[in-house]
Structure 1
C-alpha cells in the first residue's frame, strides 16, 4: 500500500491536537488543507481514521491502531534526520517554544537575539500561551513555565533570573484620592485590577512580612484574562483606575517614570524564576539541544552576578 507521508503527518497533527483548527495553529497550516489531507489519507487507506462532529474530532479504532504504530516510526525518522544535522558546521532546523506572555516580555528579550545571532540557521517560533497546556498538543518542542506548573516526566532547566517578585502599585493621583494602604487588608476597600486564567481561576493576591502571610481576593472595576490583555490593566492603573499587582520587572518602567507609585513594598513576595522544560527522552532535537546549552551558559552568568 502506497501513501504520501505528508498525508500521514497531517493525520498525526490532527490526532495530537484533537482538532483541525488546533492542529492548523500548531503546524502553521489551515484547517481546510488539513481536513482535505485527512480525507485523502482515509481514501488511500480505505478506512475512516476519525469520527467527526461539529464539536469534536476523535480517532476511530482503526485510527488509534494506526497512530500507535505510526508515531514510534515517525519519531525514528525525525531522529535519523536530526542525527545528520549533528554533522553540520552550524545547527539548523525549527525550534518551537510554548511560553507564558510574562516570559515573552521579561525573560526572552535578554536571550533570543543573542541565540539567533549565534545560530543563524535555526528558526525559532514562540507560541505565547499563559494557560497550562500539553506542549505536544501545542506542537512545540519545549515550554517555559514556573515550577508549580511543570508537567510530569519532564526535564527542567532554569532560564532567566532565578528570583522574581510581585509588585503592587497605583497611580499617585489615585492614591491621593483614595489613600495609601498601610496593610494588605486595606486593599479590600480599594479598586483593584485583577487577572484570571482562561480556566476561570482568579489567583489570590498574596503578601508576606516577618512570617505573616496574607491572601486576598480583592475586587475592582476591571478583570483581564492573564496574557496579552494584562497590558490593558497596566494602562488602566497608570490612568488612575485602581491598584495593580504584577511582576516587578513589568511595572518597573512605570514606577521609574513616576506614572505608578509602589505601595506595601515590605509585603512584596518573591518566588523562583521559570524553567525551560522538555520531554525526558534519549534523543533531543539538535535545535533544542543548542538552545539548552545556550541558556545554561546564560544561567552561569546569572550565578556569577548573584541574580
Structure 2
C-alpha cells in the first residue's frame, strides 16, 4: 500500500542509525537499492528531503532530524511490544544497550557481565562508556548507570554500590616533594589535575564540608582532563592531586600507589545506581540484568 504511513520507516530508522545506505541494508537484511528506493518513496510522500547524501557520508537534514526525534520513541514502543512476546518463551533475548561512566567498569561491569553472558547467551550487551550526562531515552539505551544524585527524578533507580565518599589523593612521590595539605585552603598552594565536565565544559570545583557548611575550592593546576581513569593514572604518576570517588581509587590506595589527605573535610554522596524508564522494566532482558546485578550487590555486602 503506497499510502501506508509505515512504509519506509524501517529503512529510515536504519539509515539514520548507520548513516550509510549500505550498512543500513545489511542491518535489516535487504539490498542497498531497496533501501534507496524506500527512502526516495518516503521523501516523495512527505515532500521533504530527509537525508543529505554525498560520496563520503549520509547525514540527516534538519527536517530528517526532527522527524527522527518523533519517530524513534514510537518505533521503540513498537519494538518493546514485540519483545514482550518473549515473556511467553520465558527466555530473555535481544540487544541490551547500557550507558555507563568509566568508573562503573571495574566496580560493576567487570564482575557482572561474564556471569550475565553465561546465564543469558541470547542477550547481546552493548555498552557505551560516557562520563557525560546522557538522555538514555532519547539516545535509545535500555538503562544507564550513574551516581545517584545525577539521575533524573522520573527514572526508576536500583542501587548497585554503597554510598561514595569523595577523596583527595596524590602519589607518595608528590607528597614527598610538595608536602600534605592540612585544610582545603592549603590546596591553593598545590597542583591539581583538574576535571572538565564532558557535557557542559565547566571545570569542577572541589567540594568540602566544615562544621556542617559546604565550601568549594578552585584548585590550580596545569593539566585538565575529562576522564576519571586519566585522573587516577595522572595522580599515580605524580602529576598532581586528584579529587575522585573513593570507589574508583580503592585498589590504588590499598596498593600504596595513592594516598589520601583531607579526610575530615570530604563529603559523601549516593553511590552508583542502574536506572531506566518505568516502562522498560517489563523487558525480560532488563529484568534478567537487574536480577544479576542484585545478586552481585548482595554478594558484595556479605
Distance 1:283 1:249 in 2: 27
- Give 1:58's match in structure 2, choosing from 44, 48, 62: 62
- Give 2:283's match in structure 1, choosing from 282, 285, 291: 285
Distance 1:290 1:127 in 2: 19
Distance 1:69 1:222 in 2: 43
Shift of 1:32: 6.5
Shift of 1:239: 2.2
Quickly say closer, same or farther: Cα 1:41–1:192, change in 2 above 3 A: same
Match of 1:17 in 2: none
Q: Deviations over 1:107-145 (max 9, x none)?
A: 222322222222222111111111112113322111112
Match of 1:139 in 2: 140
Quickly say closer, same or farther: Cα 1:6–1:172, change in 2 above 3 A: farther
- Give structure 1 stretches of 5+ with no counterpart: 15-19
Contact preservation (8 Å) 1:79, 1:283: no
Aligned residues: 286
Match of 2:39 in 1: 42
Contact preservation (8 Å) 1:99, 1:145: yes
- Give structure 2 stretches of 5+ with no counterpart: 26-31
1:237 aligns with 2:235: yes
Match of 2:188 in 1: 188
Quickly say closer, same or farther: Cα 1:169–1:282, change in 2 above 3 A: closer
Distance 1:249 1:154 in 2: 24
Q: CA RMSD in A?
A: 3.4
Shift of 1:182: 0.6
TM-score w.r.t. the length of structure 1 is 0.78
Match of 1:98 in 2: 99
Quickly say closer, same or farther: Cα 1:295–1:58, change in 2 above 3 A: same
Distance 2:69 2:255 in 1: 56
Shift of 1:195: 0.9
Match of 2:28 in 1: none
Distance 1:112 1:266 in 2: 36
